[in-house]
Amino acid sequence: METKTKITGAHAFMQSLVKEGVDTIFGYPGGAIMPVFDALYDYDKHINHILTRHEQGATHAAQGYARVSGKVGVCLVTSGPAATNAITGIGDAMLDSTPLVVITGQVSAPLLGTDAFQEIDVVGITQPITKWAYQIRRAEDIAWAVARAFYIARSGRPGPVVLDFAKSAQNEEVEFNYEPCTFIRSYIPIPEVQSSQIEAAAALINTAKKPFALVGQGVLLANAEKELKAFLEKGNIPAAWTLLGASAMASDFPLNKGFLGMHGNVAPNMKTNECDVLIAIGMRFDDRVTGDLKTYAKQAKIIHLDIDAAEIGKNVIPDAPVLGSAKDTLPALTAMIKEAKHAEWIASFAEYEKLEFDKVIQREVYPESGEMTMGEVIHKVSEATDNKAVLVTDVGQNQMMAARYFKYSETRSLVTSGGLGTMGFGIPAAMGAKMGAPERTVCMFSGDGGFQMTIQELGTIMQEQIGVKMIILNNHFLGMVRQWQEMFFEERYSFTNMLNPDFVAIAKAYKINGTEVHKRDELDAAIADMLKDDKPYLLVVNVEKKGMVFPMIPAGACVTNILLGD
Amino acid sequence: METKLYTITVFSENTVGLLGQITIIFTRRAINIETLSVSPSAIKGVHKFTITIFATEDVVSKVVKQIDKRIDILKAYYNTDEGLVFQEIALYKVATDKLLELGTIEILIRNHHIHILEMNENFVVFEKTGHYDETQQLFNELSESVGVLQFIRSGRVAITRSKVERLSDMLDNIQEKYGK
C-alpha cells in the first residue's frame, strides 16, 4: 500500500503557491505567520520575498505588481495589527478590481474567538471589501483554499481575496494533493455573450451619427486593447478614457480624444452631452466621471458593455446592455457594425481641444516665466522617457496632473489609486510596478503630503535596490484640498499647509540618490540625471505653491459645467 | 419611486459567514431587514434565505444583483406579494386565569383558527399561522382583552407563483456548460 508522506501545513501552503506560479511575495513576518515564513526560507529559489516596511506598503506593492503584469499580487502578513494595516490596500484593490491574494496569519484554531493575543476578526472585517474571504482552520483545507483563492482573484472581474490562516493549521501535518480550481458552480466569471444584446447594440451604433465611446479598465483587464482598436477603427468612433482606462489606447491613437471626468479634458466631457450614442466599455459610470447623473448624456442612447451584471444599470440605465468580457463582446460587436466615417463629428472635437489648450494647457505645460508648474514637470519627464514609462501616481493634484499630461505608448502604463483615492499609494505601488515590469522605466509622481504617508518604504527600495524614479511635486501644501478651500471654502486654508523635511537628505539617509530643483533652468538636467541609469532616484521639484488643476467640473455638477480657471 | 415590501429569495452554498455577507449589503444602503428566515432548501447542501425589506424597485433590484454577485451565492431574486404564496407563524403566551375570565374562548379559537400548544394553570400558548395582518389582528385582540405575556412572530417563508427555472435545473445547466 502506498502511503503519501505528510508535510506541514506551512509547506503545503508554499507548495500551493508554487503550483499557482507565484514568484514574488510582498510581506512582513510576525508571530501568527511564523511557520509559513519558516517554510518560505526553503523556497528562495522559487519565490522572491520582498520585505516591506509596513503591511499597507506590502498591499500597494502587490497592487502595483498586479496592475503592470496582469498577474495576481500576493501579500503575506501576520495577524491582528498586520491584518488591519493591510485593510487599506485590500479595499483599494476591491474598488479598482485588482487581483490580489492576501494571506494573514491567525491565532491557533482553539484560541479563535477568545480575544487571544493579536487576534482580530479578519474574515468579518474583510468580507465587505473582498471578492472572497476565507479562514483556513485545518491543514487539509489549504490546497483547496489556495486554489480557489487564485481562481477567484484573477478570473472574471478581478479583485482581492483574503486567506486567514490559523497558526495551528500551519503546523498540522497533511498529505498534499494540489488541484487547480477551474470551476465554482455558484460563480460564473465570464458571462456568455448573448447575441440578442450584441444585435441591439450594433443596431444603435449603425444608426448613430455622433457615436462616442468611453473606455474603462475593463478593456485592460480583459487584454482587449487590440479588439478595442479594431472596433473603434471600423466604426470611426472617437473615444475617451476613464482614469483607470488610461493606456488602453495609445496617446497618439487618432481616435483617442482624451481623459474623462472631473479633471479630464474639455472635449470628451462636452461631447458626452452632445453624442447620440454613448458606448461605455468596461467602465462603471463613477461619480467622478458622470457628475450629476440627472443631466448626464440624457440626449444619447446608451450602450453599456461590462463583465459585471451588478454594474449594468447601477448608475446609468442603458438602452442596450451588453454583458460579457470585452475580449468577447468587442469582436462580436465589431463584426456587426458597419464601416463609417463620422468625419464632421470627429472634427468637431478640435474646437474644444483648442479652447483647452489656449486656456489651460499652454500656461500649465509650457510656461515661460514664473514658478514651475506640475504640468511642465510631468510633460518633461514623459518626453524624457520617450513616453514609454510606467506612470505611478499618488493621490491628489499630482495624480490628476500626471494622468492629464503623461503620455502612453504601451498598455498597462498607469498605476494609480482610482476608486479609493489612497494617499500613500505611490511609493509602494511604484516598487511593485518595477518588480512586475523590471525592463520598463517606472516614474512615480507624488505630492509632499502623500509621500510622507508611506515614506518608510524607502527602506524597502534601499534593501532591494528597486530602480524606481520618484518625483515629488512639492508645493508645501495638501494641494487638492487647498484647491477646494480656495474655490469652495472662501480661501480658509484649514490645516493644509505643510512644513516639510529635506526629502533629498532623507533619501540620502536611505542611500538613494536624489536632487532638489528650485529653478526651471535646472529641471532638464535633473531629469536626465534621474534617468541616466536604472537605480532608484528621488527628484524633488518645488512647484508653484498655489497651483490649480484645471479644467474642473465641481463635484455633483453637470458634466458640461467645466471651469477653466480663467 | 414607490416604496413597498419586497421578498428576496437567496439560494446559497452552506458556508460559514454568508448571512454576514448578505446583511452587509443592506447595511451599506441603510435598509432595514423586516423579516429573515434561513433554512436548508429542497436541494442537499443548498441553503435558502427569505428576506423582506421595504424599498423601491430600483433599490431592491440593485441590492439583489449585489447579493447574487457574492461568490457562494447560487441565485438571488425578488418578488412582490402578488408573485408569492407566503406564510408566517406567531406564538402568543397569555395568562390562564384571565383567559378563563373572558368566557369566550371558543369564539376566539374558531375565528382565528388558533392551535393551542401548551396549557397549564399559569399560562396558555396559542399558535397562529397567517399573513402579517392576520397574526397582528389576533395580537391586538388579545392585548385589549386579556393581555399578552409574550409574543413572537417568525420571518416570512415564501414560494413563488411564477414558473421560474428550478434551481436544480439551473445547477445542472451550469455544471454541464462550465464544469467540464
Single out the residue in B38, B62, B79 at which a domain terminates. B79
The residue to which cell 499630482 is assigned? A398
For A310, the closest chain B residue by CA position comes to B65
Closest to A232 in 3D by CA, of A251, A207, A209, A215: A215
CB A503 within 8 A of CB A516: yes
> Catalytic amino acids of A?
55, 117-118, 167, 480
* Nearest alpha-carbon partner for B13 in B63, B70, B79, B66: B70
Q: φ and ψ at B178, to 5 degrees?
A: -110, -15
Whether residues B91 and B110 share a domain: the answer is yes
User: And the C-alpha cell for A100?
Assistant: 490580489
A405/chain B closest Cα distance in angstroms? 36
For residues B57 and B122, state if they share a domain. no
Return the residue in B48, B56, B71 with the most chain A beta carbons within 10 A, the one to mutate for interface testing.
B71
**Cβ-defined contact of B71 to A187 (cutoff 8 Å):** yes
Beta-carbon separation of B71 and A309 below 8 A: no
Is the dihedral angle over the CA atoms A10, A12, A16, A17 positive or is it negative?
A: positive
Best mutation target among A136, A187, A315 (most B Cβ atoms within 10 Å) is A187
The partner residue sitting opposite B20, judged by closest CB among A124, A135, A188, is: A124
pLDDT, tens digit (0-9, with 9 covering 90-100), for B1-14: 789 999 999 999 99
Q: Is the dihedral of CA A48, A133, A412, A552 positive or negative?
A: negative
Domain shared by B14 and B64, yes or no: yes
d(CA A468, CA A432): 10
Residue A95, min C-alpha distance to chain B (Å)? 14
Q: Which residue of A186, A193, A293 to mutate against B (max B Cβ within 10 Å)?
A: A186
CATH of the domain at B149: 3.30.70.1150
Last residue of a domain, one of B59, B79, B99: B79
In this prediction, residue B167 carries a pLDDT of: 85
Asked if B69's CB is within 8 angstroms of A310's CB, the reply is: yes
**Looking at residue A3, what is its pLDDT?**
62
Domain-embedded: residue B169 = no
Per-residue pLDDT band for B161 (boundaries 50, 70, 90) equals: confident
In a domain, B36, yes or no: yes
Q: Is there a single domain that holds both residue B27 and residue B53?
A: yes
Q: What is the pLDDT of residue B179?
A: 81
Q: Do A124 and B61 touch (CB under 8 A)?
A: no
Residues B136, B73 share a domain: no
Residue B111 is assigned to a structural domain of this protein: yes
- Count of CB contacts below 8 A, A vs B? 48
Using a CB-CB cut-off of 8 Å, the residues of chain A touching B67 are none
Of B12, B21, B73, nearest to A127 by CB-CB distance is: B21
Q: Nearest CA to CA, how far is A249 from chain B (Å)? A: 30
- In terms of residue numbers, what domain contains B137? 87-153
Q: Do B178 and A183 touch (CB under 8 A)?
A: yes
Q: In chain A, what residues touch B177 (CB-CB under 8 Å)?
A: 192
- By C-alpha distance, the chain A residue nearest B13 is A186
Report the CATH number that the domain containing residue B17 is assigned in CATH.
3.30.70.260
Between CA A561 and CA A429 the distance in angstroms is: 34
Residues of A in contact with B65 (CB under 8 A): 309-310, 314
Which residues are CB-contacts of A354 (< 8 A; sequence separation ≥ 6)? Answer: none
Query: C-alpha distances in angstroms, A432 versus A39, A61, A140, A153?
Result: 23, 4, 32, 18
Same domain, B72 and B42: yes
Cis, bond preceding A551 (omega within 30 deg of 0): yes
Q: Which residues of B touch A127 (CB under 8 A)?
A: 17, 20-21, 24
Q: Whole-model pTM?
A: 0.95
Q: In this complex, do A184 and B24 lie within 8 Å of one another by their Cβ atoms?
A: no
In angstroms, the separation between the Cα of residue A127 and the nearest Cα of chain B is 6
CB atoms A186 and B178 under 8 Å: no
Determine the 3-state secondary structure of B114 from DSSP: coil
Domains of chain A, start order: 6-175 (3.40.50.970), 195-349 (3.40.50.1220), 371-542 (3.40.50.970)
Residue B50 shares a structural domain with residue B99:
no
Say if B174 falls within a structural domain. Answer: no
Give the minimum alpha-carbon distance from A348 to chain B in angstroms, rounded to a whole number. Answer: 37
Query: What residues pair up with B153 in beta bridges, in sequence order?
Result: B90
In Å, how far is B55's CA from the nearest CA of chain A?
16
**Set of chain A residues whose Cβ sits within 8 Å of the Cβ of B66:** 310
Is the residue at B180 inside a domain? no
| Domain-located, residue B176 | no
pLDDT at residue number A561: 97
pLDDT in tens, B63-122: 999 999 999 999 999 999 999 999 999 999 999 999 999 888 999 999 999 999 999 999
Distance from the Cα of residue B142 to its chain's centroid: 23
**CA-to-CA distance for A52 and A65, rounded, in angstroms?**
14
Nearest CB to B73: which of A152, A186, A192? Answer: A186
| Cβ–Cβ gap A188/B174 under 8 Å | yes
Give, for all 566 residues of chain A, the pLDDT tens digit.
556 789 999 999 999 999 999 999 999 999 999 999 999 999 999 999 999 999 999 999 999 999 999 999 999 999 999 999 999 999 999 999 999 999 999 999 999 999 999 999 999 999 999 999 999 999 999 999 999 999 999 999 999 999 999 999 999 999 999 999 999 999 999 999 999 999 999 999 999 999 999 999 999 999 999 999 999 999 999 999 999 999 999 999 999 999 999 999 999 999 999 999 999 999 999 999 999 999 999 999 999 999 999 999 999 999 999 999 999 999 999 999 999 999 999 999 999 999 999 999 999 999 999 999 999 999 999 999 999 999 999 999 999 999 999 999 999 999 999 999 999 999 999 999 999 999 999 999 999 999 999 999 999 999 999 999 999 999 999 999 999 999 999 999 999 999 999 999 999 999 999 999 999 999 999 999 999 999 999 999 999 999 999 999 999 999 999 999 98
Domain membership flag for residue B171: no
Residue B94 placed within a domain: yes
Q: What's the distance, Cα to Cα, between the start and end of chain B in Å?
A: 45
Which residues in chain A are contacts of B171 at CB distance < 8 A?
185
Backbone angles phi, psi at B97, to 5 degrees: -65, -40
Domain count along chain B: 2
Q: Do B68 and B95 have their domain in common? A: no
